A = this chain, B = another copy of it.
Amino acid sequence: MSVATKEILDLNRFDATRTEGFPPELAERVAKRQASLGASSVLFYEQPIDMASAKGAYMYDVSGRKYLDVYNNVPSVGHCHPRVVEAIARQAGELNIHTRYLNRVVEAYTEKLLSKFPEDLSNVVLTCTGSESNDLAMRIARIATGAEGFIVTEAAYHGNTALVTEISPSSLRKRKPAPFVCTIAAPAARDGMSVEANFAASIEQAIAELKSRGIGLAALIIDTIFSSDGIYADPAGFLKAATDVVHRAGGLVIADEVQPGFGRTGGGLWGFERHGVTPDIVTMGKPMGNGFPMGGVVTRPELLKRFCEETGYFNTFGGNPVAAAAGHAVLQVIEDEGLIERSGTVGSHFKRSLQALQAAHPEIGDVRGAGLFIGLDFIAPETAEPDAALASHAINQLKQNGILIGAAGKYGATLKIRPPLCFSSDDADFFTGTLDTILKARRGA
């Protein structure tokens, strides 16, 4: 793993020792936070924002300053959506308990959620986070296959538990990847091969590499839009050959829908749908409850059964009636407000306008994505090398102009454009126009 990769998570991370020039009250707040959250504290931006409230695609700091949110995907149907808030408030006042009793709210939700999946994927385990979901999915895959190995992309992030951290190269700092993990490059056409053929070939190689270590294949686990790797969506369908390769080797395909799921990619509710494949296991998280902590694992009954015979599993908060009410409201809002279609149409407009911007700015190397999940690569025009410093500059300048955005990718040089799905074409134009101005000003400077 390159040094650049290791540092992605630190990009735009605020260094708490550099509070010079801050208003005294802010410096004191940061120092107090550091004293309580300690080394685990991560703050965005050179000077962090004191956030107070949010609504739709907008966030407001304590001084009332408004920011367009082009980054946060947890509040996916819009910050503080009134229907989700109402569902949480109502159910929290009625009943909030584990799933060891029957409950109609929970049943209505699981029924609605499972109706959104291919028929074979008919069992769901509700958890609290995407991390818990991937942790469980990995164990289901190991028990089902009797094998230990996993293949992941080289800058992937799948969560924060001990097991899931092992398959999240972007989280490992001083640590070496575990032998049961084999990493592959993000999807790309290479050496005359199509994206599909090249990606499948890299999986063949990874299976052989695991085998040479004496390790069988449990699963390929992929974020179906490759968020942390830099967002790779096209051509739709390129995961077909990869899926075939994995299945022929006796492994499972785990689709990590924590980031692409719930309508983000525009064509359907799930990222895997764009590829015309059916995963063996699907995991969910972040946008599932629009901020209410919830996640889930959907799979075939026989896979879950084998796992449960081997290991007891119970999740105290998982699938509680408040989570179910929140999750149900999210699915209902996505339907009623046509957010999948909106993600598709606003996303297409947004991508086209950014591609037009690319034509005017040689610092933009590529614009790609699906729906409201777009990656924009910054490069040094002379060398075409990734330019993480420019990404960092743009992120902080956009913030000065009232726009919140972050970075991704192996080199931290890709803008991760991932706004709430209620984002409008006007919002997109404001972003594109502001970035245009920033890039022009930088060239002029």
Q: Which residues in B have their C-beta under 8 angstroms from that of A9?
A: 312, 314
Categorize the interface residue count of chain A: 35 or more
A85–B92 touching, CB < 8 Å: yes
A160–B301 touching, CB < 8 Å: no
A35–B312 touching, CB < 8 Å: no
B80–A98 touching, CB < 8 Å: no
Q: Once the chains are docked, how many angstroms separate the CA of A40 from the CA of B310?
A: 12
Min CB distance A4 to B, Å, is 14
The count of identical subunits is 2
- The residue from B53, B95, B162 contacting A51, defined by CB atoms under 8 A apart: B95
Q: Is A100 interfacial (CB 8 A cutoff)?
A: yes
Q: Which residues in B have their C-beta under 8 angstroms from that of A29?
A: 102, 107
Q: Once the chains are docked, how many angstroms separate the CA of A92 from the CA of B40?
A: 24
Report A288-320 CB contacts with B as 1/0, cut-off 8 Å: 001111100000010011011111111111011
Q: Quick check: which of A120-128, A268-276, A366-374, A376-384 contacts chain B, the rest being far away? A: A120-128
Given A37-B124, A161-B132, A100-B291 contact (CB < 8 Å): no
Q: Which residues in B have their C-beta under 8 angstroms from that of A171?
A: 311-313
Q: Is A129 interfacial (CB 8 A cutoff)?
A: yes
Min CB distance A135 to B, Å, is 5
Q: Which secondary structure dominates chain A's binding surface?
A: mixed
- The residue from B50, B138, B293, B304 contacting A103, defined by CB atoms under 8 A apart: B50
Q: Is A182 interfacial (CB 8 A cutoff)?
A: no
Q: Which residues in B have their C-beta under 8 angstroms from that of A96?
A: 54, 74-75, 79-80, 290-292
Q: Is A221 interfacial (CB 8 A cutoff)?
A: no
Q: Which residues in B have their C-beta under 8 angstroms from that of A385?
A: none
B89–A74 touching, CB < 8 Å: no
A311–B165 touching, CB < 8 Å: yes
Q: Quick check: which of A41-49, A388-396, A409-417, A432-440 contacts chain B, the rest being far away? A: A41-49
Given A88-B89, A103-B51, A312-B9, A39-B94 contact (CB < 8 Å): no
Residue in B closest to A114 when the chains form the complex, CB atoms: B36
- The residue from B38, B80, B93 contacting A305, defined by CB atoms under 8 A apart: B38
Min CB distance A136 to B, Å, is 8
Q: Which 3 pairs from chain A and chain B are nearest by CB? A: A38-B123, A89-B89, A96-B291
